[in-house]
Amino acid sequence: MIIALHHTGIATRDLDRLSNFYMKLFSGEILHSFAWDRSDVALSARLGLKSSSGRLVMIGFPNARLELFEFSEPAIDSAPQLRSVAEPGLSHICFQVSDCHAEHLRLSDAGVEFHAPPLAMPGGGIFAYCRDPDGNVVEILQAPQPGHSSSP
């Protein structure tokens, strides 16, 4: 039986920068961290890699976790590119907030760039998309209030 979604994993070229972003601006805290080298054949196999080394940080939030990886090996040749949310695959991560407009202002003041200002949806929610330092899309969402009806 599935109990819950436990975490989302993100690979980064700069673990310190990305973990600081999520801890400082989204109130995450490090639950655990570790490094491994290429002698850890079992871990590499579970990651689907022939050989790997790197560092990992698990950041906790009230109801979810982000697992951030920085790989020393294998080498990544391609330059990072901003991925469109329309491309197949993981599109974005979302943080529920109590006041989307206030969080938009707070994050903008901290230098976070948003695609556009918050938008109210017909179902009652308010959301905005931004990007983390690696270009991953992050949503802030003020969920609809219980009993909100989208009908006129």
Quick count: other Cβ atoms within 10 Å of Cβ 22?
A: 23
pTM: 0.85
Q: What is the pLDDT of residues 24-56, one digit of tens each?
A: 999 999 999 999 999 998 888 988 989 999 999
Strand, helix or coil for residue 8: strand
Q: Please name the amino acid found at residue 151.
A: S
As given in the structure block, the two tokens for residue 88 are 């197949």
Domains of the chain: 7-73 (3.10.180.10), 93-142 (3.10.180.10)
Judged on CB neighbours under 10 Å (0-12, 13-18, 19+), 134 is: middle
Q: For 10-22, what is each residue's pLDDT tens digit?
A: 999 999 999 999 9
Q: Is residue 125 exposed (0-12), middle (13-18) or buried (19+ Cβ within 10 Å)?
A: middle
